Structures are given as C-alpha cells and as structure tokens.
C-alpha cells in the first residue's frame, strides 16, 4: 500500500524575524509549524556551498567543547556531511549565527550550522524536493535530516511506499553505512507520537537502526552548575527503550541566534560526529554513533529522565577523550 507523505521543514515557523523584516512579511504564529511541501520533482537544484572562512571563531551559541576540539586539531577533516533539506523553495527566514544577520532557506541554515561546528568536514547539499536517492561519498558519511515525513496516523512502516531518497537513508542507517542525525521534531510529543492526527513515519522507520540518532533541543547548553532543560517545543524520547538508547539532546540557544527548533539541534550532532571521525580515523559509523551515545551527560540536565532526555546531553569532550573507540 502506498501512503501519501508530506515533508515538513521543522524550524521555519520557529525562526524569529527582526521587526524591520517581519513588517514586510505575513506574520507567523510561533506555535504553528510551517510546512514545506513538495511533489516528486526531477530537477535537483545545485546549491552553492559558501567559501570557507579563513578564520574560525567559537560562537557563543556553541558548547565550549567545540573550541577545545578545534584546539586539539579535530575539525571534521576526512568526513562528509550531507545536508538533506530545502535548497530550492521560496521560503526564507532570518537569523544570525554570530557572523551577521542573513536571510536564507531552511537547508542553507542547517548546512551553515553544521559547517561552523565542523569547519574541516566536506559539506554536501541534497535538495529534498527531488526524491532521488542520497549518494554517499568515499570514506565516512554523516546525513543530516532536519525534516520529517508525515501522514495520517495508524499505518505501519511497512505500508509506506518510500521514495528512493528516504529509502536510501533508511537503508544506510540499517546497514550502518552512514550516521543519520534526525531532528526530533517540534510538537512536544514523544518520538513516533501522534500530532494533529499525523505521525512522522521517517522517525518510525529509523527506530532501532544502529546509526540513527534522534536529536532533541535544550533551551541552552547545560553545565553542572547551570543545568539545562528540554526546550518547550522539542519532542522527547518517550517510553520506547529503542528510542531512548538513540536519543540525544543539545543546546539550541535561539535567544542568541534567532533560530529555534530541533532543526538546529541535528546539525550540531552532525558536526560532532564529523569531529569525532576526524580523530578516530579508522572508526566505523556504528562506533562513532555509539561513542556519542555512550558518552552523553546526565548531570547537566534538570531532573534527568530517560523518557525525556534519552541518553542525555551530547558531550563532545567526553566522546573525544578515549585513545580509541571500539
């Protein structure tokens, strides 16, 4: 049975616009999710990657662990991050990652964020409106999915007629061919939960896959002295232990960037995975995934509960600490 699916860009309605820009646009309700809906177009838009900056600076929205990793020489070299996202629609919104206010598409934002976390990684763009299979580069690969695939609730995953795009992603996560960083969603429900009568079937298809990581958002980066809590909009792990064991949270400090949503949590984990891969150059995607999951912190979170935070807050410093990973 084939089920009609809709793609949703998770962060569009959670991006805050400066007053000067918002005045010229139709206002968005911050509680409303804006959908980026596409058909099965056959033209793949070639999205240009911005030239790498000659100097890299740790931004205030980043965890301090990022600067420590860079200082140790680990910036993602040798790892390819493919951003599967919107690079062709007319939908744009503003934000500032600390390098000046910009007005970009959803995919341009998530791509820029991943490239800022892992500046030496190879960054590729895959426009998700085409539906064609995602190809892997040689070496280690990370796929960033800051979107969901929604349809009416009640179907089994086996009833979904996946396009080659999602079919290839699910296959890579199943075989352990690539690390898949999947934004948890912004509906304040458990992964796989029903919202508005619909479910994210891409979430459901990735549950239990060895290299799939679901990423929720904290309202800030946590510390032991100033613990963080789940952002009000973020989906959470829920009672399924298979989800809990592959669920991480990271700080999404929208008060500093103007960008809110788990869309901006997933690229942080994508960047972390690339940085880890640049240290442990012989590690497999499964080993890198497990390293991220098994080194997460719970002591930086308010009232830690696995059904909320999964494995906990991703800790790049702890993930990089071992001499080797297995």
For tokens 């509960």, the residue is: 305
Residues in the chain: 326
pLDDT at 9: 52
Query: C-alpha angle 240/221/185, rounded to 5°?
Result: 40
Query: C-alpha angle 293/297/302, rounded to 5°?
Result: 125
Convert the pLDDT of each residue in 125-168 to its tens digit. Answer: 999 999 999 999 999 999 999 999 999 999 999 999 999 999 99
pTM over 0.85: yes
Convert the pLDDT of each residue in 79-131 to its tens digit. Answer: 999 999 999 999 999 999 999 999 999 999 999 999 999 999 999 999 999 99
CA distance 63 to 61: 7
Question: Torsion angle of alpha carbons 263, 268, 272, 275, nearest 10°?
Answer: 110
Alpha helices in 9-105 (DSSP H): 19-22, 64-71
Is residue 53's pLDDT more than 70? no
pLDDT at 51: 44
**Lowest mean pLDDT segment, chosen from 49-63, 76-90, 269-283:** 49-63
Burial class (CB in 10 A: 0-12, 13-18, 19+), 4: exposed
Q: How many CB atoms lie within 10 A of CB 166?
A: 23
Is residue 50's pLDDT more than 70? no
Tell me the pLDDT of the chain averaged across its residues: 87
Convert the pLDDT of each residue in 211-260 to its tens digit. Answer: 999 999 999 999 999 999 999 999 999 999 999 999 999 999 999 999 99
CA distance 65 to 69: 6
Q: Percentage of residues in the chain with pLDDT exceeding 90?
A: 81
Beta bridge partners of 180: 143, 212
pLDDT at 25: 24
Q: Is residue 101 within a helix (H) or strand (E), and if so which, with residue range?
A: none
CA distance 253 to 251: 6
| Whole-Å CA distances, 287 to 176, 284, 294 | 9, 5, 10
Confidence band, pLDDT 50/70/90 cuts, at residue 8: low
Burial of 310-325, coded b for 16+ CB within 10 Å and e otherwise, reads: bbbbbbbeebbeeeeb
CA distance 156 to 174: 17
Tokens of 45: 């838009």
For tokens 């497999």, the residue is: 284
**Cα–Cα nearest to 148, from 214, 209, 97, 57:** 214
Convert the pLDDT of each residue in 26-38 to its tens digit. Answer: 222 222 222 222 2
More confident residue, 40 or 290: 290
CA distance 291 to 246: 11
**Lowest mean pLDDT segment, chosen from 16-20, 192-196, 215-219:** 16-20
Question: Torsion angle of alpha carbons 106, 86, 265, 234, nearest 10°?
Answer: 90
């Amino acid at each position: 049975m084939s089920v009609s699916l809709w793609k949703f860009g998770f962060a569009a309605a959670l991006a805050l616009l400066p007053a000067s820009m918002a005045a010229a646009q139709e206002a968005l309700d911050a509680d409303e999710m804006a959908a980026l809906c596409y058909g099965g177009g056959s033209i793949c838009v070639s999205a240009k990657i911005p030239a790498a900056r000659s100097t890299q600076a740790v931004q205030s929205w980043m965890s301090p662990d990022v600067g420590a990793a860079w200082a140790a020489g680990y910036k993602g070299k040798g790892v390819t991050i493919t951003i599967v996202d919107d690079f062709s629609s007319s939908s744009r919104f503003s934000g500032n990652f600390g390098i000046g206010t910009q007005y970009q598409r959803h995919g341009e934002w998530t791509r820029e964020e991943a490239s800022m976390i892992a500046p030496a990684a190879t960054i590729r763009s895959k426009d998700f409106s085409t539906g064609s299979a995602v190809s892997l580069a040689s070496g280690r690969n990370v796929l960033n999915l800051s979107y969901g695939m929604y349809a009416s609730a009640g179907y089994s995953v086996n009833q979904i007629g996946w396009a080659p795009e999602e079919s290839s992603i699910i296959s890579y996560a199943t075989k352990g061919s690539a690390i898949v960083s999947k934004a948890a969603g912004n509906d304040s429900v458990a992964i796989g939960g029903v919202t508005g009568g619909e479910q994210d079937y891409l979430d459901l298809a990735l549950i239990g896959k060895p290299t799939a990581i679901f990423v929720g958002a904290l309202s800030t980066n946590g510390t032991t002295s100033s613990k963080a809590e789940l952002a009000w909009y973020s989906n959470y792990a829920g009672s399924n232990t298979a989800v809990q064991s592959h669920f991480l949270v990271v700080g999404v400090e929208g008060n500093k960037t103007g960008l809110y949503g788990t869309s901006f949590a997933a690229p942080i984990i994508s960047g972390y995975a690339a940085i880890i891969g640049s240290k442990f150059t012989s590690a497999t995607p499964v080993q890198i995934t497990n390293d991220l999951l098994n080194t997460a912190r719970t002591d930086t979170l308010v009232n830690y509960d696995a059904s909320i935070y999964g494995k906990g807050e991703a800790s790049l410093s702890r993930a990089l600490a071992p001499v080797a990973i297995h």
